[in-house]
């Protein structure tokens, strides 16, 4: 398990699962940082991504569109994406824009990791 | 020098005492203030509606300034109607100027009325002014016998320039109501006058018929925007009533409330007509306490008194030859097919039997006097006040048809008597009713409850309900109709003779735009009419009106229309169905008044209110978070639930991003306004710049060529519309302005 510092996005890995932490405001800048980190984790062999929103108070539509891009990338890599610790207002936005059709929601990162470890990896 | 009270109130040129001069107080103060302005002040153009009266206003100004004995020396000169050569008018001007200047300097008002030659004025000039006045008169005598009239006119008009620098400056009030009479002279007096005025280095006022002055200024190569403008219309009802009372008192004429109202309405508040009538009544010792006595005197005046002399003088000036005058009267009077009060220029030329140039001169003068409207091609003969039309008809019958005078007199009195109660009824109805056109003129893209245009729905909900229940219901009604932005509202009577029979006030054709852009698709014409019915309007009556308005729309070539009928008591069930079939709106008087009240309220709260916060943020760099934090604080004060607060925050973030992304903003700023109302928070987010054609306030349908990212980037508006209760793009000339409303509901 190690933290990534360069991208300014907090992240760590648990086996083949990467946990990436979203900032307090998910916008274009912070969304692209998450995207960059997720790509890096996928390139490093991760097969599941947990994006944790425990610090996130506000998201905007650009940030959400970047999240959808991350989901697309992960799908192409055969990886699973789970969102954890999303506040109810943000969940409402995700539902409005159809994100929840493509990802699972977990109460927190630990629950997400447990859930993923119980599932077989999707593989290519 | 200390002045006594008697000096302060001397009547010098004024024909009535200051306290009896009513209805133009604001204008009087404006002109006096203009006289006191700095030397570099612009000239004041007093643009006069015909017969609105300006002479007494200027004379009263003169008296006030003279009695004040301040820094401005008043000079009042009225261009004579009888002196029709520029040279004689220029001499008269020079004489008046010097006489009034000397009178002021000697503080001797009586001098203003003295008939002195220029040499005699030199003799009475005070020693401080003797030198320049003597020199001016000497120069005058040298110029007087020169052969260049234009040079001489210029010399006279430039006399105010000769006042030495250290002396009090003149304030020239030049009344040029009769300027048109100088139009045929070799020296273009209007141009010389404007040239002279433009060169003055001190304030002045030029008063004249508005069409004449605008025309003269343009001919002289200027624009009226270079001057300060004061528009003089006919008196408003209250002022006109005060004038009638004052003139009746002065002339010892018994009068009552009913006849006062009749005179005010019949003469449309014209000071000239009102004063003329009361002077005539005083001279003839006639009481004006019945409609009959008023109309009898009116017809006397029309056929042989002041009104007759006035209109005859106008006609004689326009057409000095009797046969041409008769032809003009005939042309203006002859029966014209209903629906067409216009005559083409060529018809005028043939019927008058004069050159095109002469016809142009005649029409130009009739147009200047606003007795016709001439656009260079066609002549609309609907212009002119009621007495003018009565004058024409009676003159035509007497002169052309050779009808017996007694018969004409009897019939004109009868006609005036029959018209009197109609005039008063129309006036009273107008007082009692909100004017349809005024309401239309306030249409400016407001959102209003759509129920106000749907009588059936409204009556189901609120028939018999107390006003407070109706108001509360409408306040919480979220089914809204966006009104168009109306840019012109005119009486339907000016579009159709059929509508004319229902009166000027009862129908309106309003041109406007719907939505946030000026485009062909958004252009719309509303055709609205009041339906006279004591009960709910039935289907037959409603159908007649719908047909009438639809036919008018078709004939006029209106592409997109909206019909709206207003009936005092609303519409029957069948009539409502008919309205719906035709996509027409129907309202009762109650709905109409509620709508008008709402528009008035919005207009009065348009400017910043105490419960309004404004925020200007730069675009970019996450500044939208400042907006989100601000709105959070405001929403908390209103006790919105946390979930609603978050929705509002997200919406404002999205609106800010949209504003930044979609406008080529020159100042890169986002203007935000948060208005707190008792039951809602209204947020507007605006930016300057060019709006891409695919935005314009509406979601563009996605196309095959859009990438997934393009489509996703259109989510902002979708989110805003979902998160807020009302979302509308407001009409702005440049950029966008998004208005979002969140209602505070129980539990919100």
pLDDT digits (tens, 9 = 90+) for B483-518: 998 988 888 887 887 787 777 778 899 999 887 677
* Residue B382 included in any domain: yes
B654:A96 CB<8 A: no
CATH number assigned to the domain comprising residue B542: 3.40.1340
User: What would the two tokens of residue B596 be?
Assistant: 């008008």
Residues B464 and B560 in one domain: yes
pLDDT at A93 over 80: yes
Question: What residue spans define the domains of chain A?
Answer: 26-89+96-117
Determine whether the interchain pair B625/A58 forms a contact, defined as Cβ–Cβ distance below 8 Å: yes
Q: What pLDDT digit, counting tens, does each position of B249-303 carry?
A: 999 999 988 899 899 999 999 999 999 999 999 999 999 989 899 999 999 999 9
Side-chain half-sphere CA neighbours of B498 within 13 A: 11
Q: CATH number for the domain including B733?
A: 3.30.565.10
CA torsion sign for B93, B97, B98, B103 is positive
Both tokens assigned to B484: 């168009």
Tell how far CA B138 is from the center of its chain.
48
Q: Which residues of A touch B717 (CB under 8 A)?
A: none
Q: Which of B628, B646, B647, B658 to probe by mutation at the A interface, max A CB count within 10 Å?
A: B646
Cβ–Cβ gap B713/A65 under 8 Å: yes
Chain B residues whose CB is inside 8 A of the A64 CB are: 712, 715
Q: How far, in Å, CA of B422 to CA of B430, rounded?
A: 12
Nearest CA of chain B to the CA of A74: how many Å? Answer: 16
Q: Which of B537, B567, B602 is the last residue of a domain?
A: B602
Q: Does B620 touch chain A (CB under 8 A)?
A: no
In a domain, B237, yes or no: no
Taking 3-state DSSP, the helix, strand and coil percentages for chain B, each rounded to the nearest 5, stand at 55, 15, 30
Both B350 and B226 in one domain: the answer is no
Measured CA to CA in angstroms, residue B67 lies from B5, B8, B108, B160, B719 at distances of: 10, 5, 10, 21, 71
Residues of B in contact with A60 (CB under 8 A): 624, 650, 653-654, 657, 716
Residue B274 lies in a domain: no
- Percentage of chain B lying above the pLDDT 70 cut: 89
B22-41 pLDDT, tens digit each? 888 899 999 999 988 765 66
Q: Which residue has the higher pLDDT, B42 or B319?
A: B319
Name the DSSP letter for residue B537: B
Of A58, A60, A93, the CB nearest to B657: A60
If one counts every other C-beta atom within 10 angstroms of the C-beta of residue B567, the result is 27
Q: CA–CA separation, A43 vs B2, rounded Å? A: 100
To the nearest 10 degrees (0 to 180), the angle between helices A61-76 and B642-662 is 90
Residue of B nearest to A24 (CA): B625
| Mutant choice from B620, B625, B721 vs A, greatest count of A C-beta within 10 A | B625
Does residue B499 fall inside a structural domain?
yes
Residues of A in contact with B628 (CB under 8 A): 58
Dihedral sign for Cα atoms in the order B327, B332, B333, B334: positive
List the single residue in B with minimal CA-CA distance to A63: B713
Q: How open is the CA angle B283-B286-B287, to the nearest 5 degrees?
A: 135
Residue B652 backbone dihedrals phi, psi, to 5 degrees: -75, -30
The answer to whether residues B113 and B219 belong to one domain is yes
- By CA distance, what is B646's nearest residue in A? A89
B659 to chain A, closest Cα gap in Å: 14
State how far the Cα of B34 lies from the Cα of B97, in Å rounded to an integer: 19
Task: Say if residue B106 is in the same domain as residue B205.
Answer: yes
Strand partners, B509: B490, B527
Same domain, B74 and B134: yes
On whether the CB atoms of residues B232 and B27 are closer than 8 A, the answer is: yes
Query: To which residue do tokens 């008009």 refer?
Result: B157
Let me know whether B586 and B452 are in one domain: yes
Name residue, tokens 């760099």.
B621
Among A26, A59, A61, most B C-beta atoms within 10 A, so best to mutate, is A61
Of B625, B646, B718, the CB nearest to A89: B646
Min distance B650 CA to chain A CA atoms (Å): 7
Q: Where residue B215 sits, what CATH number does that domain have? A: 3.40.50.300
pLDDT beyond 90 at B562: yes
* Residue B729, strand partner residues: B738
The residue with greater pLDDT, B417 or B428, is B417
- B598-605: Cβ within 8 A, 24+ apart: B598/B446, B598/B448, B598/B452, B598/B474, B599/B439, B599/B442, B599/B443, B599/B446, B599/B448, B600/B442, B602/B446, B603/B442
**Who among B646, B654, B708 is closest to A61 (CB)?**
B654
Best mutation target among B650, B654, B710, B721 (most A Cβ atoms within 10 Å) is: B650
- Residue B696 C-alpha, separation from nearest chain A C-alpha, in angstroms: 19
Give the model's confidence band at B460: pLDDT under 50 very low, under 70 low, under 90 confident, else very high. confident
Residues B641 and B594 both lie in one domain: no
Binary contact (B709, A69; C-beta < 8 A): yes
In a domain, B226, yes or no: yes
A26-89+96-117 is a CATH 2.60.120.10 domain? no
**Scanning every residue of chain A, which has its alpha carbon at the shortest distance from the alpha carbon of B714?**
A61
Print burial letters for A20-58: b (CB count within 10 Å at least 16), e (below 16).
bbbbebbbeebbbbbbbbbebbbeeebbbbbbbbeebbb
Cite the DSSP H helix spans in B452-588: 455-462, 467-475, 497-500, 539-556, 573-581
Who among A62, A68, A69 is closest to B657 (CB)?
A62
B560 and B629 part of one domain? no
Token output for B452: 């106000």
* Number of domains chain B contains: 4
| pLDDT given at position B66 | 94
Same structural domain, B648 and B622: yes
- B465 or B120, greater pLDDT: B120
**Whose CA is closest to B317, among B271, B272, B369?**
B369
Q: Does the beta-carbon distance from A65 to B709 stay under 8 Å?
A: yes
Contact: B715, A64; criterion CB under 8 Å: yes
Give the lowest-confidence range in B86-95, B401-410, B467-476, B525-534. B467-476
- Residues of B within 8 A of A58 (CB-CB) are 625, 628, 646, 649-650, 653
Q: According to the model, what pLDDT value does residue A124 have?
A: 36
Handedness of CA B234, B237, B243, B249 (dihedral sign): positive
Residues 6+ apart with CB under 8 A from B512: B443, B484, B485, B486, B487, B488, B523, B524, B525, B526
User: Is B378 part of a structural domain of the chain?
Assistant: yes
CB contact under 8 A, B715 and A88: no
- Residue B189's pLDDT band (cuts 50, 70, 90): confident
Q: Is residue B244 part of a domain?
A: no
| B715–A93 CB contact, under 8 Å | no
* Residue ranges making up the domain that contains B690: 612-743
Give the global pTM.
0.58
Average pLDDT for chain B: 85
B658 touches chain A (CB under 8 A): no
Chain B residues in contact with A69 by the CB 8 A cut-off are 709
3-class secondary-structure state, position B82:
coil
Query: Helix (H, G, I), strand (E, B), or coil: what is residue B484?
Result: coil
Measured CA to CA in angstroms, residue B266 lies from B281, B390, B417 at distances of 16, 12, 11
Last residue of a domain, one of B542, B572, B602: B602
ipTM comes to: 0.83
Whether residue B3 is predicted with pLDDT greater than 90 in this model: the reply is: no
Please, which residues bridge with residue A51 across strands?
Answer: A20, A83
Are B451 and B401 contained in the same domain?
A: no
A95 to chain B nearest CA, in Å?
11
Contact between B362 and B352 (Cβ < 8 Å):
yes
Question: Contact, B527 vs B553, CB < 8 A?
Answer: yes
Are B728 and B619 found together in one domain? Answer: yes
Domain identity same for B154 and B35: yes
Question: Scanning every residue of chain A, which has its alpha carbon at the shortest distance from the alpha carbon of B653?
Answer: A60
Three-class SS state of B531: strand
B194-204 confidence digits (pLDDT tens):
888 888 878 89
Could you give the residue ranges of the DSSP H alpha helices within B489-572? Answer: 497-500, 539-556
Read off the pLDDT band of B712 (50, 70, 90): low
Residue B128 lies in a domain: yes
Say if B709 is an interface residue toward chain A (CB within 8 Å): yes
Q: Which residues of chain B make contact with A96, given a CB cutoff of 8 A? A: 718-719, 722
**Model confidence over B139-171: pLDDT tens digits?**
998 888 878 888 899 999 999 989 998 889 999
Mean pLDDT, range B675-704, rounded to an integer: 64
Which residues does chain B have within 8 Å of residue A76's beta carbon, measured at their own beta carbons? none
Cβ of B643 within 8 Å of Cβ of A88? The answer is yes
Identify the pLDDT of residue B590: 87
């Amino acid at each position: 398990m190690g933290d990534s510092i360069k991208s300014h996005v907090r992240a760590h890995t648990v086996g083949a699962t990467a946990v990436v932490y979203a900032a307090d405001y998910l916008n274009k800048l912070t969304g692209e940082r998450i995207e960059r980190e997720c790509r890096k984790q996928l390139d490093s062999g991760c097969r599941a991504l947990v994006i944790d929103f425990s610090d996130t108070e506000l998201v905007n539509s650009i940030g959400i569109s970047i999240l959808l891009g991350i989901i697309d990338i992960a799908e192409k890599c055969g990886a699973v994406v789970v969102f954890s610790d999303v506040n109810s207002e943000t969940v409402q936005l995700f539902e409005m824009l159809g994100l929840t059709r493509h990802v699972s929601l977990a109460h927190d990162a630990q629950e997400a990791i447990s859930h993923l470890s119980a599932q077989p990896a999707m593989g290519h | 020098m200390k002045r006594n009270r008697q000096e302060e109130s001397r009547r010098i040129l004024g024909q009535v005492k200051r306290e009896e001069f009513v209805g133009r107080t604001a204008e009087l103060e404006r002109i006096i203030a203009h006289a006191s302005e700095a030397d570099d002040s612009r000239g004041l153009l007093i643009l006069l509606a015909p017969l609105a009266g300006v002479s007494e206003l200027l004379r009263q100004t003169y008296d006030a300034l003279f009695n004040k004995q301040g820094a401005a020396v008043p000079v009042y000169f009225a261009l004579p109607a009888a002196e029709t050569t520029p040279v004689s008018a220029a001499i008269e001007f020079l004489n008046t100027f010097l006489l009034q200047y000397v009178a002021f300097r000697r503080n001797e008002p009586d001098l203003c009325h003295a008939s002195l030659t220029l040499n005699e004025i030199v003799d009475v000039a005070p020693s401080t002014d003797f030198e320049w006045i003597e020199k001016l008169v000497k120069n005058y005598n040298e110029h007087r016998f020169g052969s260049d009239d234009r040079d001489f006119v210029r010399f006279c008009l430039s006399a105010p320039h000769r006042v030495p620098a250290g002396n009090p400056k003149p304030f020239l009030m030049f009344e040029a109501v009769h300027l048109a009479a100088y139009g045929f002279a070799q020296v273009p007096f209007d141009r010389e006058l404007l040239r002279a005025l433009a060169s003055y280095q001190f304030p002045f006022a030029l008063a004249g018929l508005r069409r004449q002055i605008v025309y003269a200024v343009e001919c002289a190569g200027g624009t009226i925007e270079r001057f300060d403008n004061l528009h003089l219309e006919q008196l408003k009802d209250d002022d006109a009533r005060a004038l009638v009372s004052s003139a009746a008192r002065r002339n010892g004429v018994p009068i009552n409330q009913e006849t006062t109202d009749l005179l005010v309405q019949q003469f449309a508040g014209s000071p000239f007509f009102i004063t003329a009538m009361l002077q005539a009544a005083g001279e003839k010792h006639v009481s004006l306490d019945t409609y009959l006595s008023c109309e009898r005197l009116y017809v006397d005046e029309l056929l042989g008194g002041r009104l007759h002399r006035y209109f005859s003088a106008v006609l004689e000036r326009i057409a000095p030859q009797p046969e041409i005058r008769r032809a003009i009267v005939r042309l203006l009077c002859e029966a014209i097919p209903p629906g067409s009060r216009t005559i083409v220029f060529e018809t005028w030329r043939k019927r008058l039997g004069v050159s095109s140039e002469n016809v142009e001169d005649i029409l130009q003068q009739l147009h200047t006097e606003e007795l016709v409207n001439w656009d260079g091609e066609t002549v609309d003969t609907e212009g002119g006040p009621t007495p003018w039309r009565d004058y024409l008809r009676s003159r035509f019958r007497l002169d052309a048809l050779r009808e017996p005078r007694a018969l004409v007199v009897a019939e004109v009195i009868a006609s005036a008597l029959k018209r009197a109660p109609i005039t008063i009824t129309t006036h009273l109805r107008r007082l009692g009713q909100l004017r349809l056109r005024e309401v239309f003129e306030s249409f400016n893209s407001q959102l209003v409850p759509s129920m106000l245009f749907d009588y059936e729905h409204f009556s189901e909900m609120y028939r018999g309900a107390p006003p407070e229940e109706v108001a509360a219901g409408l306040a919480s009604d979220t089914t809204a109709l966006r009104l168009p932005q109306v840019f012109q509202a005119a009486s339907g009577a000016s579009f159709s003779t059929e509508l004319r029979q229902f009166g000027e006030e009862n129908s309106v054709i309003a041109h406007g735009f719907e939505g946030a852009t000026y485009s062909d698709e958004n252009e719309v014409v509303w055709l609205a009419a009041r339906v006279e019915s004591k009960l709910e309007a039935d289907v037959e009556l409603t159908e007649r009106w719908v047909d009438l308005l639809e036919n008018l729309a078709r004939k006029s070539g209106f592409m997109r229309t909206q019909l709206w009928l207003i009936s005092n008591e609303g519409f029957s069930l069948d009539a409502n169905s008919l309205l719906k079939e035709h996509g027409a709106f129907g309202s009762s008087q109650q709905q109409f008044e509620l709508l008008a009240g709402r528009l008035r309220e919005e207009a009065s709260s348009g400017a910043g209110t105490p419960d309004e916060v404004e925020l200007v943020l730069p675009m970019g760099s996450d500044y939208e978070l400042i907006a989100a934090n601000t709105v959070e604080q405001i929403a908390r004060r209103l006790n919105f639930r946390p979930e609603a607060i978050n929705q509002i925050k997200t919406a404002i973030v999205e609106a800010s991003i949209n504003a930044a992304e979609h406008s080529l903003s020159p100042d890169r700023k986002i203007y935000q306004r948060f208005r707190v109302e008792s039951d809602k928070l209204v947020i507007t987010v605006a930016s300057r710049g060019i709006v891409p054609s695919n935005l314009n306030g509406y979601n563009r349908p996605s196309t095959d060529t859009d990438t997934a990212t393009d489509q996703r980037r259109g989510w902002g508006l979708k989110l805003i519309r979902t998160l807020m209760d009302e979302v509308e793009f407001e009409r702005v000339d440049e950029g966008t302005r998004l208005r979002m409303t969140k209602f505070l509901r129980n539990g919100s």
